[in-house]
C-alpha cells in the first residue's frame, strides 16, 4: 500500500507515525547524553533525517550540551 501511495501521492500515516516516534527517541537520547556529561541544557538543536534504503530512514539529533546557571 505504501508503494501505491508513493506513486499516486499522499501521506503514509503509519510511516509518519514511526518517524515521529524516532524523532522523539533521538531527542531523548541526546538529552540523556548531555545529562551524562553534566549538562543541564542543550542549545542549537538540529534534527537530520537521511534515507538508508527505500522505506527506511535514520534520524540524528544533535546540539551543544552546556551548563546554564
Q: What DSSP string describes 7-24?
A: HH----HHHHHHHHHHHH
Task: Please report, for residues 20, 21, 26, 28, the alpha-carbon distance to residue 17 in angstroms, rounded to integers and kept in the order given.
Answer: 5, 6, 14, 17
Q: Chain-centre distance of CA 45, in angstroms?
A: 11
Determine the pLDDT at residue 2.
55
**Domain residue spans in the chain?**
2-66
Give the closest residue to 31 by CA, choosing from 20, 43, 19. Answer: 43
Residue 8 predicted with pLDDT over 70: no
Which tens digit of pLDDT belongs to each residue from 17-45? 888 999 999 999 999 999 999 999 999 99
Helix (H) or strand (E) holding 29: helix 13-36
Amino acid at each position: 500500500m505504501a508503494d501505491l501511495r508513493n506513486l499516486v501521492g499522499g501521506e503514509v500515516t503509519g510511516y509518519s507515525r514511526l518517524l515521529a516516534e524516532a524523532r522523539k527517541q533521538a531527542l531523548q537520547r541526546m538529552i540523556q547524553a548531555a545529562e551524562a556529561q553534566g549538562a543541564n541544557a542543550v542549545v542549537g538543536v538540529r534534527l537530520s533525517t537521511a534515507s538508508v534504503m527505500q522505506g527506511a530512514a535514520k534520524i540524528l539529533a544533535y546540539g551543544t550540551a552546556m551548563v546554564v546557571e
